[in-house]
């Protein structure tokens, strides 16, 4: 039993099966809401699953000059690193793994997929993929710092670097959620860049560089990469919920899970709103925006949190 339960956590809930199912639902909601806002019909609810099945059934084509082992393995590394983070985030009461400093580990694990996206393009030896991979790394230097700083403010005011304890603190002190609204906005914008969604989707801009870093990927490997990105959106929404919105409010069981679903859906809908309302910006504009606006706002948020913590 001691062996079976961890395996069920990893494979079923809150691991691969749950994240995969919820990610496909989020993808459909994202596409449907985008279509409605653009006065289109949008896809049926089974479309994301149909797309994934279609991809995994197609042939995998590997470029002649590509490193075959690296080319084939990095999609699985991206998926594994993203799934690992969910075990440190409250989904149904207490997380499976919780320790002081786990928020730093989560940020680190969520950086690994970005590195795999770079390696995907670089190892493909295609000019389109190479340009896409360089844009991936350039954007990384833009959003990664403000994203971590936004989480750091909440950690300082909660006097803990554990996601579960931060969530617990804001549950017990709901007024402090309002204090961290600027940090919440910074986290949302930085997450949009991390997910490479409009307006920060230049790494895979189809009208410029075909498919960016994933141009040479096909079949099962492309399907895994796209699934990993969808799951990363769920994980980031869950992390933002736990750090900024008070998590599950000390409610476990079905009602706690329902609160998790509602809050993460709200975060994802905000990200969808950003995507629909904004136009694509250049990579240099994205980096400039991050350092000129997001980083100062995040630093000011940290100073406010430090003042409140020392004063009260």
Q: What is the pLDDT of residues 175-190, one digit of tens each?
A: 999 999 999 999 999 9
Q: What is the pLDDT of residues 57-68, one digit of tens each?
A: 999 989 888 888
Question: Is 166 within 8 Å of 245 (Cβ atoms)?
Answer: no
How is residue 117 written in tokens? 């996206």
What residues contact 146, with CB distance under 8 A and at least 6 apart?
Answer: 186, 189, 190, 290, 294, 295, 297, 298
Mean pLDDT of the chain: 91
Q: What is the pLDDT of residues 94-147, one digit of tens each?
A: 898 999 999 999 999 999 999 999 999 888 888 888 888 989 999 998 999 999
- According to the model, what pLDDT value does residue 92 have? 81
**Cα angle vertex 173, ends 246, 184, to 5°?**
45
- According to the model, what pLDDT value does residue 253 have? 77
Domain residue spans of the chain: 17-311
Q: What percent of the chain has pLDDT over 70?
A: 98
With cut-offs at 50, 70 and 90, classify the pLDDT of residue 1: low
- According to the model, what pLDDT value does residue 86 have? 95
DSSP character string of 78-98: HHHHHHHHGGGS-SSSS-SS-
How is residue 110 written in tokens? 């969520």
- According to the model, what pLDDT value does residue 93 have? 78
Residue written as token pair 């992390």:
239
Q: What percent of the chain has pLDDT over 90?
A: 70
With cut-offs at 50, 70 and 90, classify the pLDDT of residue 278: confident
With cut-offs at 50, 70 and 90, classify the pLDDT of residue 292: very high
CA distance 264 to 282: 29
With cut-offs at 50, 70 and 90, classify the pLDDT of residue 271: very high
Quick check: pTM over 0.85? yes
- According to the model, what pLDDT value does residue 72 have? 93
The Cα-based distances of 234 to 119, 228, 302 in angstroms read 23, 10, 26
- According to the model, what pLDDT value does residue 2 have? 66
Instruction: Please report how the helices 219-244 and 68-85 are oriented relative to each other, as an axis angle in degrees rounded to 10.
Output: 30
Q: Residue range 14-38: average pLDDT?
A: 95
**pLDDT exceeds 80 at position 208:** no
Q: What is the DSSP letter of 225?
A: H
With cut-offs at 50, 70 and 90, classify the pLDDT of residue 248: confident
What residues contact 66, with CB distance under 8 A and at least 6 apart?
Answer: 123, 124, 125, 216
Q: What is the pLDDT of residues 148-166, one digit of tens each?
A: 999 999 999 999 999 999 9
């Amino acid at each position: 039993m001691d062996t079976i339960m961890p395996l069920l956590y990893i494979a079923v809930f809150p691991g691969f099966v749950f994240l995969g199912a919820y990610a496909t639902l989020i993808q459909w909601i994202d596409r449907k809401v985008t279509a409605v806002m653009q006065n289109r019909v949008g896809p049926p609810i089974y479309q994301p699953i149909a797309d994934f099945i279609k991809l995994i059934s197609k042939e995998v084509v590997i470029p002649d000059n590509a490193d075959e082992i690296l080319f084939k393995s990095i999609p699985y590394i991206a998926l594994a690193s993203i799934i690992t983070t969910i075990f440190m985030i409250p989904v149904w009461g207490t997380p499976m793994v919780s320790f002081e400093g786990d928020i730093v580990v989560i940020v680190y694990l969520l950086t690994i997929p970005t590195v795999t996206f770079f390696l995907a393009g670089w190892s493909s030896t295609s000019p389109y993929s190479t340009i896409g991979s360089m844009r991936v790394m350039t954007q990384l230097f833009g959003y990664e710092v403000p994203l971590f700083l936004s989480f750091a403010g909440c950690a300082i005011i909660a006097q803990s670097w554990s996601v579960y304890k931060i969530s617990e603190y804001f549950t017990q002190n709901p007024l402090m959620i309002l204090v961290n609204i600027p940090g919440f906005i910074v986290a949302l914008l930085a997450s949009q860049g991390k997910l490479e969604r409009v307006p920060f989707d230049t790494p895979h801009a189809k009208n410029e560089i075909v498919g960016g870093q994933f141009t040479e990927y096909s079949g099962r490997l492309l399907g895994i990469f796209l699934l990993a990105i969808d799951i990363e959106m769920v994980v980031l929404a869950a992390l933002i919920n736990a750090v900024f919105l008070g998590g599950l409010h000390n409610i476990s069981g079905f009602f706690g899970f329902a609160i998790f679903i509602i809050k993460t859906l709200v975060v994802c809908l905000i990200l969808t709103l950003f995507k629909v309302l904004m136009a694509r910006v250049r990579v240099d504009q994205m980096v400039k925006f991050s350092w000129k606006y997001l980083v100062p706002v995040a630093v000011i948020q940290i100073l406010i949190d430090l003042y409140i913590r020392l004063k009260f």
